[in-house]
Amino acid sequence: MEWTDEGIILGLRRHGEGNAIVELMTAGHGRHLGLVRGGGSRRQAAGLQPGNAVRAVWRARIDGQLGAYTLETTAARADRLMASACASYAFAHLAALLRLLPERDPHPGLHAVLEAMMELLDAPEPAAMLVARFELLMLAELGFGLELDRCAATGGRNDLRFVSPKSGRAVSGEAAGPWRDQLFALPFFLVGDVAEPPDRAEIDAAYDLTGFFLRRRVLEPRGIGMPDSRAAFLAALARSGKLRAPRP
């Protein structure tokens, strides 16, 4: 069996004498592992770095085997990612989220979004928005998407300002009434385009929201915790000093 696809290196580990098992997020074949012969050598080390984009040829005798990769680097990004704490922790967190997906389960939309994000992860303001949106997208891809396009109480599409922790559905400001303190705030940048970057309070609200549902619906049922890379990424954002101060 053989296929050719575009992929992004999520990680790798040494295997035997001088080889490596490389984990890719591919466009058409999902999160997919394969053996790279000689992948542990210095000669190949520069190309086999997390974050790099590759053209991958995978070969195996039968579909269920690990198989072997031949990889050609199409975009070398690892140095840029490693030069920024924000970018390196962001990518580590994105890779950890993608490992929640079944191996070899195609998610072309996730690959496309990840590819588009790669050049922006070292800029704190867009990275803060993009990673939160990616968490929201992961919930949907895993079958636990939130319903944020209309009010759970009225069915209306205006003034959607909150999210119910029980249902994961949006609630309008009017319908929230006296229960608003029991609801999550819904930052507009999670559901619509914004003219200016969100402030720190909106960023915090977004990660409170996505973090709650990732834990409740995805991680706790599997008996695992939130990846440490998420807290490291959020700490790097805070240290950057680039996020806008909360509005008065």
Cα 174-191-236 angle, rounded to 5 deg = 115
Give the model confidence (pLDDT) of 172-212 as tens digits: 999 999 999 999 999 999 999 887 889 999 999 999 999 99
Rounded CA gap, 248 and 243, in Å? 15
3-state helix, strand, coil in the chain (%, to 5): 40, 25, 35
Query: Quick check: 113 and 132 in contact, CB under 8 A?
Result: no
How does pLDDT run across 72-105, given as a tens digit for each residue? Answer: 999 999 999 999 999 999 999 999 999 999 999 9
SS3 for 141? helix
pLDDT tens-digit series, residues 201-212: 999 999 999 999
For the entire predicted model, the pTM comes to: 0.95
C-beta of residue 175 within 8 angstroms of C-beta of residue 160? no
Q: Domains of the chain by range and CATH?
A: 2-76 (2.40.50.140), 81-148+186-240 (no CATH)
Closest alpha carbon to 22 in 37, 4, 38, 34: 34
Question: What mean pLDDT, rounded, does the chain reach?
Answer: 95
Query: pLDDT at residue 248 above 70?
Result: no
